[in-house]
Structure 1
Amino acid sequence: MKSLKSIRTIMAGTMLAAAGLATLGTGPAMAQAVPDDLTTMPAVPTTFDPPKTAWGDPDLRGTWPIDNIASLPMQRPAQFGDRFWLTEQEFAQRQEQANRSDEAYQAEDENDTIGMGHWVESDASGRRTSLLVEPANGQLPAFTEKAQKLMAASRTSWTPNTEFNWLTDFDSWDRCISRGFPASMFPFRYNNGIRVFQAPGYVVIALEMLGSRVIPIVDKGEGQIPGEIEQWLGHSVGHWEGNQLVIETTNIKTGDSATTDPYARNGSPLNMATMGVPPFNVIPTSKQAKVVERLTMTGPDSIVYEATYSDPEVFTAPWTARLDWSRNDDYQFFEYACHEGNVQPRNYINASRAGREQAEGGESGGSK
C-alpha cells in the first residue's frame, strides 16, 4: 500500500541526496534543438504530421510518463540567470549526476531490492533550466496581496510548525483527495504516469496519481457549464487547431465545505525542487482561474505540452509551463493506494494535541 505519509517518511532520509538531482532534464526522444542564444526559447515545432485515428483526429494515444522530467524545477534556479538552456559544461555535470542515478537503479536490480534508485529516477538528456517558459525570467509572477494573506493562513502538513486538530488542518493531497489543478499535470517524485485515450468526440487523460480527465471535443467557445459547478480537476473542453489539441479548463475547485477557507488549495507542490516559504501546495484558487493547455506532437514519440495559467485574484500575471512528453508504452501504472493505510493524519492530530497539552502542563490525552 502507498500511504502518502509513509512514502514521504521513506523518502525523508534521502531527500537531500535527491535534491542534488533537482536540475535533471528531459528524455532523449523529445530533446529540443538548443539555440545558439541560450536566452531564447524557440516556438513549438508544428511541422510534424501525426497519424490519424479512424475518425480523422490526430492520434495522441499512448503512454507518456513524465518521470524523466520529475526533477526539473518549476522555476529557474538563480545561477542560470536569464538562460532557458544549460551550457555544455553544465549539461556535462548534469549528465554525471544522472549516471549516478542510473548506477543506483542498477545496483538495486542486481541486489533484488527497491529503494531510492527506483523511487527517484532521472534523465539528463535535456538542457532546459526550468519548466516555466513565461515569464521569460523563469519565475512565477508575484502573488496578489489577497493571495498572500490566504497562503499565510493556510493549513497543510508541508508547512512547518502547523498545529493539527482536525482533518481541515490538512490540504487535499494530505487527505488523498486530489493534487489540485493544474498541479496534477506537473511531475512529482513518483507515480508520474500519463495515458491518453481517444474515442470519437472525446480525449481521456488518465493520471497515475489521483484522477483522470474526460475531455469532450467541441467547437471552440462551446461546452461551458454554470460557474456554481466545480471540480477538483476543473471542467475541461477541447478543440483541434490543425494538429494541435487545445484544452480550456475552468470551474476549478475553489472551496471545501469542510473548511472556512474561501479558496481551495492546490493539493501538492507544483514541483518539490521549487518549494519555499510558503510551499506551493497552498496556492489558492479563485473562480477566475483558467488553464489553457496545448498538446502538439513533434514526432512519432514526442509531445510538447504547454499550460498557460491565469487567476487574476491570485497571480499578478499569467504564466506558462512547457513540458516535453516522451512515449513509453512499456511504462507500468501502479495503483496509487493513498487512502488505504493512510494513518498519518490521525497520528499528526494525536501528536499535535499531546504536544499542546504537555506545553500547557497537562497529560497527553491522545485521540479524542
Structure 2
Amino acid sequence: MRNFIFAALATVALATPASGQIVPDDLTTMPPVTTDYEPPRTPWGDPDLRGTWPIENLDQMNLPIEREEEFGNRAWLTNEEYAERLAAARESDGSFEEELRTRGTIGLSGWLESTDMGRRNSMLVDPPNGRFPPLTEAARPLQEAGRSSWVSGQPRDWITDLDIYDRCVTRGFPASMFPFPYNNGIRVFQAPGMVVIHHEMMSTRIVPLGPTERWPEDVRTYMGQPIGHWDGNTLVIETTNIVDGDAADPDIHRRAASPNAWDTTYPTSAEARVTERLTMVSPERIIYEITYSDPQVYTAPWTARYDWTRNDGYEFYEFACHEGNVQVRDMINSSRAQRLRDAQAAAEGGEAGSGE
C-alpha cells in the first residue's frame, strides 16, 4: 500500500473554483443536480467523462457518510461552522507551505473554497436526516454474525472468519465508491458501448451501455453486474447480482459518524440494487449520486451525493495488497493459540483471555 506523506495536503490543482451547486438559503434543502453544463463529446458522440477523479479530499476534510445527529435535517454548515472548518484547513495547509508552492497544488483550504462540498456535513442526502435508515428485524442477526477483523471478540479459525477487505479481495460494492483514508483514485475510460471505472484500490468495473441481459439470479460478484445508459448527459448505472451475506460489503458504514462504525458489519441480501448517476457539471467536476435499496436489510432506500474533482496528474501506483498480506495468517494463528491457551487455563481453573 502507498503511504501518503502529505496526508493533509489536497492535491487537486484548480485554477478557478469549480462551478455547480449553490448553497441554498434554506440549509435543509438539497437542490437538484444542475444539468445546464454541456460536456465535451467522445469521437462516437457520448458525453466525455474520461479522466482521473480522485476523491481523497472528502476524507481529508473528515466529511462523514452519515450526518451527526445534532444537525438534524440540516444538510449544510452555517457560515460560522464553515469558517471553523476553513480555518482548520488553512492551519493544516500551513504545515505544507513548501509542498504547496513546489507542487502547484491549492491545498485543502483552496479545495474547500472551490466546491460547495466544503459546506456539506454528510454525504448522505436522503433520508432527510442524512442518516442510514434502520435495519430490518431480519437483518439484525446477520449484522451480529458479521465476520471481520474489525469486530472484537470473534474467534478466527479460517479465512471465512474474515471479510473480503481483510483478505484483499475488494472493498465490496458500493463501499468501493466511497472515500477511504488512502488510495482513492478513480479513472474513467470509455469506448463505444462501454464505460470502465478503474479504482486505485482493488477493483475495476466494466459497464456495458444499452440493452444488456441480466445474469441469472445465482450468478453474483462482489461488485455486482452493472448496466449503464445515458439520461441526457448523465450516465446512469444500475447494478444487481451483488454477492449476498453477513459481511459481503464490509466497510460501507466505516465512515459513518458513529464511533462504533468500525466495530460492526452490515449485511447484503440478494435483493440489493444500486442506481448511480454521474453528471459532469463543469470541466473539472462530476457530481456522483448513488441510491442503495435492499429491502431485506434496510427499512428504506438511502441516497448519497458527493463530488469527483478532476486531477489528471494524479498517479496510480501498484496496490500490492495480497502480496505480503501476512495479517490473515497471523490473525488466524494468534486466535487459535489464544483459544488453546484459554482452554488450558479453564481446565486448570485459571482465567481465560479474549479468544481473538
- The yes-or-no answer on 1:321 pairing with 2:304 is yes
State how far apart, in whole Å, the 2-side matches of 1:191 and 1:297 are: 23
Paired amino acid for 1:57? D
Matched pairs, number: 326
Q: Deviations over 1:121-147 (max 9, x none)?
A: 785441001000110011100101111
- The yes-or-no answer on 1:79 pairing with 2:62 is no
- The yes-or-no answer on 1:229 pairing with 2:219 is yes
Alignment partner, residue 194 of structure 1: 186
Give the CA deviation at 1:253: 1.1
Paired amino acid for 1:324? D
Please tell me whether the aligned partners of residues 157 and 171 of structure 1 are also in contact (alpha carbons under 8 angstroms). yes
State how far apart, in whole Å, the 2-side matches of 1:158 and 1:273 are: 15
Please tell me whether the aligned partners of residues 178 and 267 of structure 1 are also in contact (alpha carbons under 8 angstroms). no
Please tell me whether the aligned partners of residues 249 and 290 of structure 1 are also in contact (alpha carbons under 8 angstroms). yes
Residue correspondence of structure 1 range 1-368 to structure 2 within 5 A: 28-29=17-18, 32-70=21-59, 71-106=62-97, 124-125=112-113, 126-219=118-211, 222-254=212-244, 262-277=245-260, 279=262, 282-361=265-344
Provide the secondary structure at the position in 2 that maps to 1:102: helix
Give the CA deviation at 1:160: 1.9
Please tell me whether the aligned partners of residues 66 and 130 of structure 2 are also in contact (alpha carbons under 8 angstroms). yes
Identity of aligned residues (%): 53
Provide the secondary structure at the position in 1 that maps to 2:18: helix
Q: Single out whichever of 341-350 and 352-361 deviates more from structure 2.
A: 352-361
Give the CA deviation at 1:98: 1.6
Q: Single out whichever of 30-39 and 277-286 deviates more from structure 2.
A: 277-286
Give the CA deviation at 1:332: 1.0
Q: How large is the RMSD of aligned CA atoms in angstroms?
A: 2.6
State how far apart, in whole Å, the 2-side matches of 1:205 and 1:280 are: 29
Give the CA deviation at 1:151: 0.8
Q: Deviations over 1:190-218 (max 9, x none)?
A: 00000101000100000001110110111
- Give unmatched runs, 5+ long, in structure 2: 9-13, 102-107, 349-356
- Give unmatched runs, 5+ long, in structure 1: 12-17, 22-26, 111-120, 255-261, 364-368
State how far apart, in whole Å, the 2-side matches of 1:309 and 1:91 are: 29
State how far apart, in whole Å, the 2-side matches of 1:65 and 1:249 are: 22
TM-score of the superposed pair, with normalisation by structure 1: 0.82
TM-score of the superposed pair, with normalisation by structure 2: 0.84
Q: 1:146 to 1:48 in 2, by over 3 A?
A: same
Q: Deviations over 1:108-133 (max 9, x none)?
A: 899xxxxxxxxxx7854410010001
State how far apart, in whole Å, the 2-side matches of 1:36 and 1:88 are: 11
Give the CA deviation at 1:249: 0.3
Please tell me whether the aligned partners of residues 183 and 201 of structure 2 are also in contact (alpha carbons under 8 angstroms). yes
Give the CA deviation at 1:277: 4.0
